[in-house]
Structure 1
């Protein structure tokens, strides 16, 4: 089952999964805009999510656009007495494609969390994800039947969750325009009036959150409170203009590449020498260091030696395909955060889903031109480059 969200909404998709008692994974790609109230010129990055099901119930949900463990760390804030042990645990390796879930289970197995605490965290994660997703108007989805995610800690019924989250979204919309989305943080604009109207302890907390740019999303996780409840507490002061909710959702401006002291290193893994040389010809016009690797089985030693800042990886290769290479690289801590862009001659959504599932950062469909390649490199390396148009390769 696959399609576009402008043809079938997410609620209907979830209900079909529930009615069919289906087990598998739902992949969704789109722009997170739960209330659809941001200004039109606001530019948001494309995001993608996974939802896991067993017999028509939700096991787990995650925003895979963010490869970090920040969400789990936020939810673990109330357990301050175990923070040292938790931080040590995060330094260990995991071979899972969904590290957040793997680390949570590790905490349970080591008895740093009780099953009740673990179930509560997963339910909050699922609700947070659905809050982001149920307002999506545009995007694409794929549902694939597969064996259930294991081990399972909890199963959540879909219909009650949908009803709960949709009520929250409707109430959230009433806070517009003063509060628009969970990734805003507060800025105090009239400290004198705000301080006079609330307890000193509350003011100090607000002041600290403002200085640290703590978002509403981070607050409701760490405080173990309802997102809507926190927003409602802040709303009267935002309405009076004493605080303002602002956002850093827009992508940060890239650093000036010409002033960068470090020469960025790009590695390309492709058994087609013609493609590799064409990419090298494009990159030699810019101050990039470039390494071409044509033997997949020899790629790991070369990549570990060269330690590139970004990897271009072809999908269709003999002996070891790009999906396998990417999955193996993501198991290493050294390559967990390195951007990996898959090069593919296929344009289907299934291939993009497979690339995302093994940890790919993005993909580039052949044939592509220099401008398309350089835009991706600029996006993921922070380099400010404008490329001339070259013939497609």
Structure 2
């Protein structure tokens, strides 16, 4: 099941998944101008330009119930925001955090790592999951344009909780209607509150209230982050500060995100850009061979052996080139290629199909499904490198502003 949000809305999609008691994952993609924000009162127009910012959301289902959801980025900050509320000081070390990178949903793996080490208890874990799922549903129901795809299959394990779709949708729908009444004073959960008129504040409010406002209205904390820190929904927080914004005592501004480093930029010890190649093949030896050949030549090579799990990881990792086997169980290479080409994020990314058959029909089908080229197995070092370098010149490759790396 896939399509455009103009043709079918998120509420209907969630209802279909729930009523069908389906197990799998829903991916939703939307694109916004960098000078426009998701306002939760209306959705900005879908643009495809160098100034666009793509956002992704994943919702994981078991038998029509939601077990988890996450945004496209995987910087783990959402969970850390809630840990701050519960005054949890202990965190995972760098080695433990690094091990989460290969998981289908690193954020979910992070949460379970905290549970397994008794850093948090199941009750806290359940509360965090419920809050994260709700904020995702709130954001998704605010969308009116974008694209989606739902793939049935295995989902996240282990599972801490199952959440019914209908109550979440009902609550979020009501709160979105109430949120609209706050416009234009409050426009987006991504706005940052800052103190604007201390003289009026001191003459009108108790000292304790002013201290709280000074603590949170620092220009560095978004309304969404503030809601997480306080363990309140976004509407409750917005209503609480609304009178101060109306009076002009507080101002809400947008962060200048144009100069913020991405995870990919800060993960490099130098300024050299490493071309990222993903290989999707259910044969482990093929993956290991590709990784070995490409890494020796300075590429960043990532192998994925589960085609279903690869779907969400591809959107998170944003590779520069994809190698994809054709014959795989549950989801073949043609389906993966077609799904990626349906997304604006992968319309121009080279996709090379790996096949064990050197037949004309395979080449034709690969082209029909959007493949850039194909490589017949078994192949040697020279064949692989020549084909990769045909589409990506490592020496002259430049990081382009049109790519939206989401972590």
Q: C-alpha distance in 1, partners of 2:241/2:278?
A: 53
| Contact 1:342 1:362 (8 Å CA) reproduced | no
Q: Give 1:25's aligned residue.
A: 25
Equivalent residue runs for 1:283-298 within 5 Å: 296-298=290-292
TM-score, normalization by structure 2: 0.67
Q: How far 1:123 moved relative to its partner?
A: 0.6
SS at match of 2:53: coil
1:377 aligns with 2:400: yes
| Aligned with residue 35 of structure 1, among 30, 33, 40 | 40
* Cα 1:7/1:51, change in 2 over 3 Å: same
Q: How far 1:27 moved relative to its partner?
A: 1.0
1:302 aligns with 2:296: yes
Deviation digits for residues 279-318 of structure 1 (CA, Å, limit 9, x no counterpart): xxxxxxxxxxxxxxxx824246436xx5x7xx5x7x9xxx
Which piece of structure 1 moves more, 242-251 or 103-112?
242-251
1:118 aligns with 2:100: no
* Cα 1:189/1:353, change in 2 over 3 Å: farther
Which piece of structure 1 moves more, 169-178 or 225-234?
225-234
SS at match of 1:52: strand
SS at match of 2:3: strand
* Cα 1:242/1:348, change in 2 over 3 Å: farther
| Aligned with residue 364 of structure 1, among 335, 342, 348 | 348
Q: How far 1:249 moved relative to its partner?
A: 6.6
Q: Give 2:35's aligned residue.
A: none
| Contact 1:341 1:362 (8 Å CA) reproduced | no
* Cα 1:139/1:348, change in 2 over 3 Å: farther
How well do the aligned residues superpose, as a CA RMSD in angstroms? 4.1
Q: Give 2:250's aligned residue.
A: 243
Structure 2 residues without counterparts, runs of 5 or longer: 33-37, 262-269, 280-288, 327-332, 351-371, 373-389
* Cα 1:198/1:342, change in 2 over 3 Å: farther
SS at match of 1:27: strand
Equivalent residue runs for 1:98-177 within 5 Å: 98-177=105-184
Q: C-alpha distance in 1, partners of 2:338/2:207?
A: 51
Q: Give 1:53's aligned residue.
A: 61
Q: Give 1:84's aligned residue.
A: 90
Deviation digits for residues 163-189 of structure 1 (CA, Å, limit 9, x no counterpart): 100011111111000101111011222
SS at match of 1:377: coil
1:341 aligns with 2:347: no
Q: C-alpha distance in 2, partners of 1:153/1:199?
A: 43
Q: How far 1:212 moved relative to its partner?
A: 4.8
SS at match of 1:76: helix
Which piece of structure 1 moves more, 2-11 or 222-231?
222-231
| Contact 1:142 1:350 (8 Å CA) reproduced | no
Structure 1 residues without counterparts, runs of 5 or longer: 255-261, 272-294, 331-336, 383-393
Deviation digits for residues 108-128 of structure 1 (CA, Å, limit 9, x no counterpart): 222222222111110100000
Q: How far 1:194 moved relative to its partner?
A: 1.7
SS at match of 2:161: coil
Deviation digits for residues 136-187 of structure 1 (CA, Å, limit 9, x no counterpart): 1111111111124211111111111101000111111110001011110112
Q: How far 1:236 moved relative to its partner?
A: 0.8
Q: C-alpha distance in 2, partners of 1:207/1:194?
A: 11
SS at match of 2:61: strand
Aligned length: 325
Q: C-alpha distance in 2, partners of 1:348/1:195?
A: 65
TM-score, normalization by structure 1: 0.70
